[in-house]
Amino acid sequence: MSKKFSHLDDDNNPSMVDISSKLESKRIAKAYAKVILNNEILNLISENKIRKGNVLEVANIAGIQAAKKTHELIPLCHSLSLSYVKIQFEISKNKNLIEITSEACSVGKTGVEMEALTAVSVAALTIYDMCKSLDKEIIITDIKLKHKSGGKSGIFNA
């Protein structure tokens, strides 16, 4: 692999990327995560009968909040002014899972991939937290970037 890691300086020390000379552009990123639960818990979530509250509403707020705080969680991320963060949940009872998608947008000098990924990750962790008293075998999986656009590297679709 001949590419240099962007977060290492010339002496191989961790370094925040200098974006001062980059042009601003509209940046969009979409991410995905999957939470696998048993059918009983999925039914309780669907019927809003989890004792801690509305699981998907709380997970939505948690994911949005996390996206806004990504730079505080990931050491070398830039702080961004986000234009929006959207999170969607799709319950699939026949597969015993909840699919989470996020979309983050900013107009700036660096991408929003980490914000979109953080949003789905924390939304998934929130679902786990709200349901863990009923089942410790909840699985969070398939966290990945699905799309990014903006900036000089162009469009990526998974």
Q: Is 18 a catalytic residue?
A: no
Lowest mean pLDDT among 7-11, 39-43, 103-107: 7-11
Domains of the chain: total? 1
Q: pTM above the 0.85 mark?
A: yes
Q: What is the mean pLDDT of the chain?
A: 92
Domain contains 2: no
For helices 39-46 and 113-131, angle between their N-to-C axes, nearest 10 degrees: 100
124 within some domain: yes
Residue from 10, 11, 18, 129 carrying the catalytic annotation = 129
Q: Which domain holds residue 108?
A: 25-157
Closest C-alpha to 37, from 94, 78, 104: 94
We report the CATH number of the domain holding residue 132 as 3.30.70.640
